[in-house]
DNA sequence: CGCTGTTTTGAGCGTCCTCAAGAGTAGTGG
DNA sequence: CCACTACTCTTGAGGACGCTCAAAACAGCG
């Protein structure tokens, strides 16, 4: 009913091929976002032979948990996930939010068991990529190998960015950085970069940004009062994108 | 002169082979710590053909800078490094401290240019590992490929741990976690886990842990008053290792 | 021995957290 | 259909932890 419905996040990405058809990647309209981004068409066809199974994960369910045996990585086909790690004393840290085309499970390779929980924040579907077979294929096709290395490296760079954010930024800067990042990723997927619906709670945003949920809420309110955002619950409209970006690391004006 | 000299960090790791000899990895006594950890002796020999050049980096010099073209990764042979990223407004974040056997430069793969500065905290030496050739070799030898994936994955897991630390822990917990981690890594290298010399300043520890240097200093003093540490400048003696580990995520007693 | 950079310690302040209450929203079942 | 429950979000008041500013002790090096 609200006008924002029109710009809701995931309008059920329509798939070019049936789930069973073995042209999983070749015809997938996420090609440009997912692993296949840098591959030749020949390599792509080989990737197709790999990605034969899909899996749906309903809202609130886990795709995998910490300690699960690692066998596959996953590409988000539709929906939205969070990954979390938790310390012994119960606090937990959201290590990332994954949207369409992004990978889950890379942290499981190191010791062959998953090191975080992956939870669907809405009904989602993933492509299952058996890791042994991916390695086998990467072994044959240098392009795929290289692309996979790139993906892992970018994940490391991303994590370093989050470290910078957690280390030195104010609540306002953190939330601004979070929203700018989200907007950019949504835009890359063909959605509006100025209006969207958050898929996560204030508490989950806080667990990602190193803030308490009350602080997240207060900061949203402040950005609204400053005329930068228009926030109604999870619906976010970025009124002044320039001011928002200026907030990200820019106190030393 | 001080008794702690005896337990100083790097007693110039003695190398089993000459720098030029092409048995770089096979005879290296860092075998168990470095990339070769999981490799067969045949694969090791091939690795030798790869690691032909070394490079020395004097204290304060950079091994590479952000923006430098990425061509190689580096394994620390002796010495000690920090890697840093800096935000536009000048604050910088230490993303890691690397000691003997650890890798530098993995964050450069993603977009073929380095994404951080790597600075030697003391006179150091590294093995240069040309990345294109590493990929070529990994392409041939599945074991090497797999081992490399493991190394990258572990780096991601490590970063997630740091995110947890930066996100939710108190200054005392952060410093305790830092020292416990350092002690464990030193022990793995045959050094004392209870007495060592820090290679970095309070400011650098702070830039890693998301604290100001004054806070790092104060926290050291507090741990000393509590009888957990004995600190004299950069010389650290862990008096009560159990109490120190208890500090790491253990407030919910 | 003076210079420079690092470390320690103090006092006051600000940001974010804690505790708490109330409003808004969604899903369920009578 | 609406009441009921559970969850999420907002807002307030007070307090704690770490930051800022500042000065002095200490160590290393020419």
CA distances from A226 to A1, A98, A213 (A): 27, 29, 20
Q: Which residue is nearest to nucleotide D8 (CA to C1')?
A: A201
Instruction: Report which of A180, A234, A178 is spatially closest to residue A207, judged by C-alpha positions.
Output: A178
What phi and psi values does residue B53 have, to the nearest 5 degrees? -115, 150
Residue at token pair 């897991």? B157
Q: Are B61 and B120 in contact (CB under 8 A)?
A: yes
Sheet harboring B103-104: ordered strands across? B53-57, B124-130, B72-78, B103-104
The rounded distance, in Å, linking the Cα atoms of B15 and B1 is: 27
Residue B46 CB lies within 7 Å of the nucleic strand C:
no
Judge if the beta carbon of B217 is closer than 7 A to nucleic acid strand C.
yes
For B204, residues 6+ apart whose C-beta sits below 8 A from its C-beta are B82, B94, B121
Give chain C positions with protein CB within 7 A. 6-11, 15-20, 24-25
Whether residue A14 has pLDDT greater than 90: no
pLDDT of residue B14: 38
| DSSP for residue B249 | T
Distance, angstroms, CA B232 to C1' D22? 23
Residues B47/B25, Cβ–Cβ less than 8 Å: yes
* More confident position, A127 or A141: A127
Q: Which two tokens stand for residue A245?
A: 């970006």
The 3-state DSSP class for residue A195 equals strand
Minimum CA–CA partner of B88 in chain A: A249
pLDDT digits (tens, 9 = 90+) for A56-73: 999 999 999 999 999 999
Is pLDDT at B111 greater than 80 in this prediction?
yes
CA atoms within 13 A on the CB side of A133: 13
E-only strand ranges, B87-183: 92-99, 103-104, 117-120, 124-130
Give the three-state DSSP class for A32: coil
Question: How many Å apart are B78 CA and C11 C1'?
Answer: 44
Contact B196, B97 (CB under 8 A): no
* Band of residue B245 on the pLDDT scale cut at 50, 70, 90: very high
Q: Helix (H, G, I), strand (E, B), or coil: what is residue B81? A: strand
Q: A144: nearest CA in chain B?
A: B139
Confidence of residue A47 (pLDDT cuts 50, 70, 90): confident
* Residues in a beta bridge with B64: B118
Task: Provide, as residue numbers in chain A, all residues whose Cβ is less than 8 Å from the Cβ of B43.
Answer: none
pLDDT at A224: 96
CB A131 within 8 Å of CB A71: yes
Counts for chain A of helices (H) and strands (E), in that order: 7, 11
């Amino acid at each position: 009913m609200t006008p924002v419905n029109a710009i809701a996040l995931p309008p059920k990405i329509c798939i070019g091929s049936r789930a069973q058809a073995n042209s999983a990647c070749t015809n997938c309209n996420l090609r440009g976002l997912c692993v296949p981004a840098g591959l030749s068409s020949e390599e792509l066809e080989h990737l197709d032979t790999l990605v034969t199974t899909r899996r749906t994960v309903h809202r609130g369910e886990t795709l995998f948990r910490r300690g699960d045996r690692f066998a596959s990585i996953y590409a988000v086909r539709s929906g939205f996930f969070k990954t979390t790690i938790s310390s012994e004393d119960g606090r937990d840290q959201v290590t990332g939010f994954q949207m369409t085309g992004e990978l889950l499970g890379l942290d499981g390779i190191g010791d062959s068991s998953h090191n975080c929980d992956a939870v669907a924040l809405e009904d989602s579907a993933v492509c299952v990529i058996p890791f042994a077979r991916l390695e086998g294929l990467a072994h044959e096709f240098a392009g795929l190998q290289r692309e996979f290395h790139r993906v892992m490296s970018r994940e490391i760079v991303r994590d370093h960015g989050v470290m910078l954010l957690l280390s030195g930024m104010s609540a306002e800067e953190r939330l601004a950085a979070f929203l700018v990042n989200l907007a950019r990723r949504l835009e890359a997927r063909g959605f509006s970069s100025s209006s969207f619906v958050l898929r996560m709670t204030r508490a989950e945003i806080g667990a990602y940004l190193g803030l308490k949920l009350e602080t997240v809420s207060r900061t949203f309110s402040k950005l609204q009062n400053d005329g930068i955002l228009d926030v109604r619950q999870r619906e976010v409209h970025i009124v002044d994108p320039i001011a928002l970006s200026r907030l990200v690391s820019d106190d030393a004006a």
